[in-house]
Amino acid sequence: MTVEEQEAFYPNLAQHIRGARKTGGGFYGISPEKSIFNATPEERDQLWSRLAAAGGFALSVNNYREAAMDLEANRLVYDWWRQQVHKRMKNKEKAELMAPKEPMYPIYTKRPPLEQDLYEMIDRDNVELVNLLENPIEAFDASGIKTKDGVHRNHDIIALATGFDSYSGTMTRMGLKNTDGKDLKECWQKGVWSYLGLMVHGFPNMFMVYSPHAPTPIANGPTIIEAQVETIAAYIKSLEAQGVKSLEPTHEAEIEWKKTINDMYDTTLVKNTDSWWNAGNIPGKQKEALIFLGGVEMYENILLDKLDGFKGFIVKM
């Protein structure tokens, strides 16, 4: 962004920050009220062109609402996106690999890449693109990589862009133990349990932020963290005022919250795609719903509602 583009935000910065808390994805912006199926092709093209030009996550978070839940609507978005990629690339073989005619998964059911010239760089004549699904890596050696087709490519540097164990992976490596001495890793071995994505049964006074069972990966990071931290501060202030020594959720509350997470997950296309959003990228790990898909505003309202009377919590004085 240029200095001028950045400074253009300043007069409305407070409005953007407040407005982000009233959205689904934590980004200030409005999704169209009209159904994607009631919009003309010209109207859809106009909206998508405007969102794509805005950059960031605009095309994913301010799109037609059906795109996240309806496969036909999602395909309309994908086909438009594919056309834009192909327009940017001269090498049609590379373009087909980057944006194939048949999508590998519904668009925006994984974190979309934020880029400015990715496709132009891949399109360069001195860049080779290898489809590892059809021609996987067979071996590394001192000078490069050998693929299944027997071709050896020399490399000075290899950057490994591998999947990562999000959500529970960070939490279960900390050595956290509950009141019975059981490690959180063992507690979550067959799936993640939490209440509100904020606390865990058996771990009193342990608050989590940017956590599983919250809008975490589909929301603007600072926005969801602010919502959680401000709620935690309100919880602690109320506990101190009442002289409470410890707070932890009941397991029954965790069961109820997990049902809420699963019910939302089952209405979207995210369930069809293996990714770090649902632990489907980790071999041997249980694939499960890990995201609160109701959005930041709904999530924060639920947190504040549960604060009133500490619904679902065990309170010890």
Report the range of poorest mean pLDDT among 47-51, 85-89, 209-213, 285-289. Answer: 285-289
Q: What is the pLDDT of residue 156?
A: 94
Provide, rounded to the nearest whole percent, the portion of the chain with pLDDT above 90: 62
How does residue 87 score in pLDDT terms, banded at 50, 70 and 90?
very high
User: Exposure string (b/e) for 248-260, b if CB count within 10 Å is 16 or more?
Assistant: bbeeebbeebbeb
Tokens describing residue 264: 């939302």
CATH number of the 168-316 domain: 3.50.50.60
Average pLDDT over residues 46-68: 88
Predicted confidence (pLDDT) per residue in 193-217, tens digit: 999 999 999 999 999 999 999 998 8
Q: What is the pLDDT of residue 163?
A: 64
- CATH 3.50.50.60 in the chain: give the residue spans: 168-316
Q: What is the pLDDT of residue 169?
A: 85
Cβ-in-10-Å burial (0-12, 13-18, 19+) of 239 comes to middle
pLDDT over threshold 90, residue 309: no
Q: What is the pLDDT of residue 201?
A: 97
Q: Taking Cα atoms as reference points, which of 212, 219, 221 lies closest to residue 286? A: 212
Average pLDDT over residues 90-113: 93
